[in-house]
Structure 1
């Protein structure tokens, strides 16, 4: 993989998808339909998916592309693949809460090694550079010119006063029970893959997810976090969260800054 080209292509496609999404988001009304698994989908999901898929297939025709909105891709497997959630946080989008993202990642041998997370309504953009380190770009964003880049890194956590982030739409009792195992200074809720990014920037120390997710939900955020010095492990045994699993479904997991003393379930 040409990582210099991958960095440019992923960043540009994320920005272009963000423009399409925001045009629909700012319209007076948009249709919401249910997919076969009863999860919601909008015209923004589909338009962003079409744009990103066309761009990635043109740039990297020999690399498997897995995307949430194309069910046929969910049965394909490869040692290296691109994986996309064109609009992560559709519920946040529908309720106009702003916590939604464009996620594009490249996975190699089970690990997300490069990724971009763009939150167009929040004006935040995170991506891994060609060398693997993560930066946050300062807006306003231009497709042809990269703005000021700030290297980001995870916190040095204080286990007596942790900052925890959890899902805004899926914060249930099981999540609360697990969070209560820690000494928590503060906690916040956030939508979509922004939770990984908050750990990556040091704005949070820990993000536990006790609920169903798919690899396209997590791969880009996982790559961003790894490039900032963090990690993601399985909830049950704290072994690394890997990718390329059957139907691309994740187990429960924990994203964290090294130094957090992880508790057992």
Structure 2
């Protein structure tokens, strides 16, 4: 793990997608191909003599490899569980999101109006795996993390429950899996400082909707630590470089406020010490 902090992202220049490191108002090219997983596995900052491109000349894509997996954790903040009338689970409760769910920084969120009228936001801390991770202990779990990022888990609340006679089934694939309804970025902040922040639980999440603070919470309020989440998930399956874990959202989501996202809304997610993720609802 590099002690030096650096920020890796995916960028589009014309028809080319490349991996770069943000430095000021430019990016240094780390890889000329769309291979973020390999760049994260290497865990190294850009070469001093790397090609540079002005940030104004690139489109910021979500920093998630097309072959990566995204795991999100439900009900992992005490106050959020209370506002949802949900008791804390006995172990981390995870569901899957696909890379196509996400847009990047300054991107347009797709409200998917044909499918949902209750489109919600959830600001979260994204934890990025840097090396093959299988059946690891809580003590060793953070040794497999390469970086962190800001994340918005877009949720179609009216698709969460699927009627089944007098009962219902939870349908998180529909509710959480809509294309371009979530956001990630602007980049992945890598290095020991980021991992230490997870270990010390020193990060905070602040979500703003049209400039108004709607979520503001310390990760100290998490029910399950990052280490516990990684250890649990890795007991089920191998986690691979580039996989991302969304560690849960704090209280203040739209369904609790009866305030759902509408076209034109500006949404931002700020994780302390990281670049702010900003998107707009199309």
TM-score for both structures, normalised by structure 1: 0.28
**The structure with more helix, counted as a fraction of residues:** 1
| Greater relative contact order (CA < 8 Å, ≥ 6 in sequence) | 2
TM-score (norm 2): 0.27
